[in-house]
Structure 1
Amino acid sequence: MPTIHDFAPAGADGAPHPLAQYRGKVLLVVNTASKCGFTPQYEGLEALWRRHRAAGLVVLGFPCNQFGGQEPGDAAEIARFCSLTYEVSFPVLGKVDVNGAGADPLFRYLKAQRRGLLGTAGIKWNFTKFLVGRDGGVIGRYPPTAKPASLDGAIAAALGP
């Protein structure tokens, strides 16, 4: 059975970004947007990254323009916004689609592993979060309304003692 480590989505520079490099790490994968009501969650995601990265957490942001056109910029604009506005230092990769025929294979995989509310597969909005264990298995899926701080306990449990 495949794990998240079998995927290599595009990085911000367009080159493959193999997730195998994170083998043994806990990942928090988030579809993001710069012009969304949930955009301030970048601050909370950065706080999680800074608090837990030494223990093995990696936050991965995937900009997505599928919801209300709320991520219209190119990679350079997105990186500049994230850095200047929220001091984001975690990896922000290439822009992806998360739903539909053009959905990135990584997000097709994540949605198949953990369904949303009432068993739905589709991602409903920006800042849907997937927590992935050290073994590459998807542990949980969290809606956009789940503030990053609310995942602290689940992240700590995934990181272990």
Structure 2
Amino acid sequence: MAGKTFYDFKPLDKAGNEVDLAKFQGKVVLVVNTASKCGFTPQYGGLEKLYKDFRGKYNDDFEILGFPCNQFGSQEPGSNDDIQSFCQVNYGVSFPIMSKIDVNGDSASPLYTWLKDQKSGLLGLKRIKWNFEKFLIGRDGLVVDRWASTAKPEALEKPILEALAKKAPVAPTATTDAPAAEPAATATA
């Protein structure tokens, strides 16, 4: 998967439709695998606060994407509709909660396979250890950092601010790729 970026993936939304992550190009994105019946589930509240705070200050330059997963203690047993309802009713979640996925194993989402290849976890392990692991994607579409489930959302404020402070890369254009014009010769008397 060399040469790929976050923008090369098309995971499914809550309705099962592909979401072209290229639409987030130039933005900072926090990706979190979530679950509704986990000891870390209250982090939804902290994630929503981050989302509202940063969206308020930086408009749509910041996004959070939640990816429900039932691979850890069967802590996300519901349907996509059940998950959406739970998140909205209990935590007022307004950031996108995507379709339920696997993050480890043979049926792992290609996005999560790429994320884990980009940034290893604790002790260099690639696999996701539990619900609410977090990946920060920079404006260039590459993984900036990864945090374990125990990292509270408020602890991510500084790295998010640092990622937001970096300018989005500019795509080359015909004018920027052209060699500089030679200065005109000046006439001498």
Report the TM-score, using the length of structure 1 for normalisation.
0.98
Q: Distance in 2 between matches of 1:23 and 1:53?
A: 16
- Distance in 2, Cα, partners of 1:46 & 1:152: 13
Instruction: Output aligned runs, 1:1-161, within 5 Å.
Output: 1-54=3-56, 55=58, 56-160=61-165
Q: Which runs of 5+ in 1 are unaligned?
A: none
> How far off its partner does 1:53 sit?
1.9
Report Cα offsets for 1:39-72 as digits up to 9, x if no partner. Answer: 0000000011001124111000000000000000
The sequence identity of aligned pairs, in percent, is 55
Distance in 1 between residues matched to 2:6 and 2:18, nearest whole Å: 14
Instruction: State the TM-score, normalized to the length of structure 2.
Output: 0.84
Instruction: Between the two structures, name the one with larger relative contact order (CA 8 Å, sep ≥ 6).
Output: 1
Q: Distance in 2 between matches of 1:69 and 1:28?
A: 23
User: Which is further off, 38-47 or 52-61?
Assistant: 52-61
Give the deviation of 1:97 after TM superposition.
0.2
- Partner secondary structure for residue 105 of structure 2: coil
Query: 1:22-50: per-residue Cα shift (whole Å, max 9, x none)?
Result: 00110000000000000000000001100
Q: Over aligned residues, Cα RMSD in angstroms?
A: 0.8
* Unpaired stretches in structure 2, ≥5 consecutive residues: 167-189
Instruction: Identify the residue that residue 177 of structure 2 maps to in structure 1.
Output: none
* C-alpha distance after superposition, 1:112-137 (max 9, x if no partner): 00000110000000000000001101
Q: Which residue of 1 aligns with 2:184?
A: none
Query: How far, CA to CA, are the matches of 1:94 and 1:53 in structure 2?
Result: 23
Rg comparison, structure with higher value: 2
